[in-house]
Structure 1
Amino acid sequence: MYIACPSKRSQQLADRVEIFVREVVTGYERDPRNGPHGPSAGLVGELRRLARDAGLMTPHVLPNGEHLSQRETAAVLMRSGLSPLGPVAVNTMAPDEGNMLLLGKVATSEQKQHYLQKLISGDARSAFFMTEPAEDEGAGSDPSMLKTTARLDGDHWMIDGTKTFITGADGAQVGIIMARTEDGNTSRATMFLVGLPHPAVVIERVLDTIDNSMPGGHSRISIKNLRVPASAVLGEVHQGFTYAQIRLSPARLSHCMRWLGAAARAHEIATAYATRRMAFGMRLIDHEGVGFMLADNLIDLRQSALMIEWCADVLDSGSGATTESSMAKVAVSDALFRVADRCVQVMGGSGVSRDSVVEQIFRDIRAFRIYDGPTEVHKWSLAKKIKKAALEGEYRVGQ
């Protein structure tokens, strides 16, 4: 069920990450500093000090700044996900992992020095300010509904808007804000880099959500009269949606990688429980209803691993993999939710108790089916592409 390691360096890194997560990080899963809005700054700092001591801080970015390939990254990130705290400890978590990738491809040398380096070192966290409140008819799954605006004021930009479900904003030091930069043109948006905290970027509240694995939780943000210099523009003006695509496909797949690790861990725990627990004169696993659920888990885990490997290969070929990442996100998020749900069911009362990490994994993976686009939005997008190809007489099975 594990992602295969395509190179010696990825095998070595994956093995070291797995040992660290299993032997060190899992011991912190019941730490009281792991609260409803994610692990506290103190817990994050302690875990990252341990990761640095182990030489495992940001393992997918090599000392020379080179990123592992997507296939290599998949092997490493899957192992980091064996605990909900694993990605936090070794700095492979969302949104930082995706933001580091974006900055590495788009940022200027000065921006990399000022923002990227402290993310790679694990000394800072970041937030990506895109989603807006539904009640304001702002951007969610449909980015063209972007309401946050940025207007030129001399040689500066003035940004105003409201954002919501912004992961990690509470405690972040680096922000990437998406804003519309041309009145009446919904296709023109720009990304801006801002140091946080900032008096014009106000956290109205941290939302109470089903998941709690990400530091800082998910916040509603008010941005009022945020004045930034032209040097704050990430990449080029009006190219925000283009850059979002650079980040989006790999970020979707990274979620799949990490949560595959979490689901595999939940399956291990449920299997151990079913093997030792007796009921009606036999072990639970010998009851067909239980044994078949675990067998289904194994099938879903293996299929998810293969889907991730396939999409990673497409990304490594140089493709944007927009279609492939949508397919992978749908298939993997739904399959892993089935796995987590079965694990809870197999474990009965123990499965819904917070005495076991399975309960948290179940909640987190349920939220994953909405992160980076709900299943239904991806299917709708795929259906549009199928229709277009079919009407043009170019649709073939396998495309």
Structure 2
Amino acid sequence: MAWKTLDDIDMAGKIVLTRVDLNVPVDDGRVADATRIERIVPTVRDILDRGGKPVLLAHFGRPKGKPNPDYSLTVVREPLAEALGVPVTFHPDCIGAEARATVEEMREGEVVLLENTRFHAGEEANDAGFAEELAKMGDIYVNDAFSAAHRAHASTEGLARRLPSAAGRLMEAELSALEKALGSPERPVVAIVGGAKVSTKLDLLANLVRKVDHLVIGGGMANTFLAAEGIDVGRSLAEHEMASTVRKIMAAADEAACEILLPVDVVVAHELKPGVETRVVSADACPADQMILDAGPRTIDKITAILAEARTLIWNGPVGAFETTPFDAATVAAAQKAAELTKAGHLISVAGGGDTVAALNRAGVTDDFTYVSSAGGAFLEWMEGKTLPGVAALGG
């Protein structure tokens, strides 16, 4: 799909409504992690450098369509101004005559931040009237919030239909990375999919088996696959009721010539806690009173061998219970191998999802991947092959 970027639109003297992701974690009234703020800086600075006047639109939390001081964007104004290095004016609404007056009074080099779009029920309903009110605020629309692109909201989809529109730098980078990973990838393509439950990733698995050459299954999901093959997984986390569904996925993979890699050996223990006694056993030899908590060394060797032959990697979900040492070994080993291959120019590596980002951070390799998406639901829906309304509207 073709979409315009900041390079395609004349912004000089124009008010640029810029949808950004400022849904940051807050602790005791202070921003606890400014990563999402830092990621929008290139877009805002570029608009300023091109003579545009950036007016930022964002949601924060779930205020359920009405004003709630607990979800006010005032909390991000100071860290936003610090990150941008320019003054940021805050207005306590995102529509209305007073908000428009604040915007019209903007000086060159200044940024305006409008209050939480979700303080209005029309935002999540994608109400035409609310979208029209937002559109009155500016001349151009830029979407830099891929993380919200899977929602057909007024500030993500409705506005793009009403003003000349473009993707911001973060959105552009995300879409380019995703296109390289699944749209027109270099082959072989490997997907690593982990996490607790198969039931939450059915659409994802159904799409991937048709798109990738190798599908590595990890985490609790791998236990469900093993159980579906008739293997006793002891007290491991597994969805035994998903057995018939898993067998259909495996049949679809066979038909599409997609190789599914399941653990051949596993790390087991009586409980999930640090310092617990562990054993490595074959995947089909989990003791009845123990649980599988990570992939074993032979499985790690198989994963790294597949990665060594791959040209493209897509990763969503850890391979084991990575939050607890020593059950992070397989995830860390795979992440470090992928990072090594990426740095050597042999692999395009794209990863996303909250647990995945945390796992890559734990392995110390986040900056070495080709692209790591901070978007959760949007990244997952893209991997599932679904159309993202906020992206589709930019191409309309």
TM over 0.5: no
| Higher share in helix | 1
User: Highest CA radius of gyration, 1 or 2?
Assistant: 2
The two structures have a TM-score, normalised by structure 2, of: 0.26
The two structures have a TM-score, normalised by structure 1, of: 0.26
